[in-house]
Amino acid sequence: MQRTRICTGAALAAGALAVTGLAYAPTALAVTPTSATITANCGSFGGGAATLTATQNGTAATLTVNSSAITVPIAIGANSITSTLTMVKAGGGTVTFTGTRNPAMSAGSPVTVGPLNGTVVAGNRLEAFGGSLKMVVLGITITCTATGPQSPGPFVF
């Protein structure tokens, strides 16, 4: 009888620990859509179609920007572009994503920056239209803006 109580007690304790572990486990929420396209205008540096790719893990989010229509004029080393992506929140305000991550790019290569890091709140709806992407390359600031809403729609975190 005592052996049954010990086994039952151990099973209950293990179950309680498992439930507690689940309660404190970090939540990985899914952003939708995971990618969207925009048409960007970068002034005298060009413009065209760009793809934004989003990920989320709790309140931490990242955005990566890729564009085959916008190319680098000279070779750029890895992690040498300082980028600030400002996204507009539905209902007002902005969320900023920053970083210095980029692959090495040879002259004429498509531009890729990110993942850029930012903080989101559950329910945030973020849109590139009305925001901007500022990239500092070799001391030169390049500002790109979306010419219309992103497709298929805002990122929902």
Residue 72 pLDDT: 87
Residue 20 pLDDT: 39
Q: What is the pLDDT of residues 7-28, one digit of tens each?
A: 334 343 433 433 334 344 444 5
Q: What is the pLDDT of residues 31-59, one digit of tens each?
A: 999 999 999 999 988 899 999 999 999 99
pLDDT at 103 over 70: yes
Query: How many degrees, rounded to 5, is the angle at CA 110 between CA 104 and CA 112?
Result: 60
Instruction: Give the burial string for 67-98 (b: 16+ CB within 10 Å, else e).
Output: beebbbeeebeeeebebbbbbbbeeeeebebe
Residue 21 pLDDT: 40
